[in-house]
Structure 1
């Protein structure tokens, strides 16, 4: 520890000398670069408070809006490392305002999408995270926070629990950028494709392997139990869409688990409102009571049409009344 502290002190002394030299002999841009170098060193040794202080000092010497956005990205890296999501949220809002001021090119905009997607994933907003990640697949350049393989890992995980089967096939399974990386990540290909192909036993088997990776992930491990529940809900929902009723035994066999496990798991998910089904314990069957998506869309459109007709009828009634009243006045 003493040797590390001494090395840090020596390096910081050199950086201070560069700042002093720049202020005495060089221009404003060189002064800014010297202060930025010191801020980056504090980030490197993970001295959060001093890094933020130095970044703020560097921002005061920065004129270009694009460079200010780069400073926000450095702040985001530090905030994500310490899981300071309040700072992450404020920094993302700040970056968006800078972009609106015309200081961001598309490369910075795409980087900001990845940072925001990571923030959404880390705060359980998986739907928005999946949307932002999918939009950034072909333009990913944010290697400073994680490699491309990790980005694809997050994209697939968030997409599975938020996209319907058709969208998942079009946007993820058939995406060439994802296909080039999918096989490099253990269990991910089996996890994704078995769900699409309705191979639920293989899906659960691959999910067990994926769970070990999620447990050790810096951003996903706090949501491990929540994500496990969401994935099981997706698998069960897709399976039950094909049946009005199905025996618990047949469902357990399809997923490669025991009857008791399916019975308990479905009971918890159904009671929590995650699954629209009920278990007939006496008959040993699961009954689905969720309306079909097309049926729900038809009902929604019908309600909208009825509301329009009611509004129109009230307008017509008022016009008829007004016309009758004018006729009465004339007579």
Structure 2
């Protein structure tokens, strides 16, 4: 990229508005992604994530607002700018008639016209995703995890500076998921800026430097995972194994100021706490003062999933 634009963010979206008839899909949506980061974009179904990405990529028109990539305005005809962008879609997008190597070569050719220039790029992409032993296989012969890795290779073969990953680990086994996440971290270490969407919160917390949560077409929270956890009331979850919890003791625990919710199934007591410094000690004080015997006890800090549910609600979305 032009050295004069080195200080510009990789992506800057300002006040984007997109409507479908009377429905507002993006409501003055803002987003800024710094160069060299892995940026997590989260939101429930229908929050506007896919619409935002499609507008950023100039695949959708929008009513107002601006999109700038590496300091340049993004338009449908910004072909040079688009050559610096890679997209790995949620739905695998490859040609069943072509084998692994041919698929990667085809998608690379959209950005690198000369076959001689593509040869090393295709080989590097095959090596990067570990498909060397499958280069002559057609997609129909690949497992779900290998197919996902082919999907990634097709999106990154031209070595883009900005890469969008949309749910890249859906329906893959743990080994494939781990390989994909490690691959994304390697791409980032090599200089790529990554925008990552997923419904697997543990993945986002593992690899993303900053995370945005959006809903109803606008940003509702932004920060590191720890910063987001500090924005909500949710605190730790205390779990206690006990078989002799009396109703009077349970009532005392429910009356604690820290307790957001308390559940007991006859074997396990689970307390979801508000943020506080002495939650575990307060629970233990009640158990010991009532001479309640207990076994295994754990305290789990709030997760990104807890934050997500508190900010976006727990109702199901279509």
Shorter-chain TM-score: what band?
A: under 0.3
State the TM-score, normalized to the length of structure 2: 0.26
State the TM-score, normalized to the length of structure 1: 0.25
Q: Higher helix share goes to which structure?
A: 1
Higher relative contact order (CA 8 A, sep 6+): 2
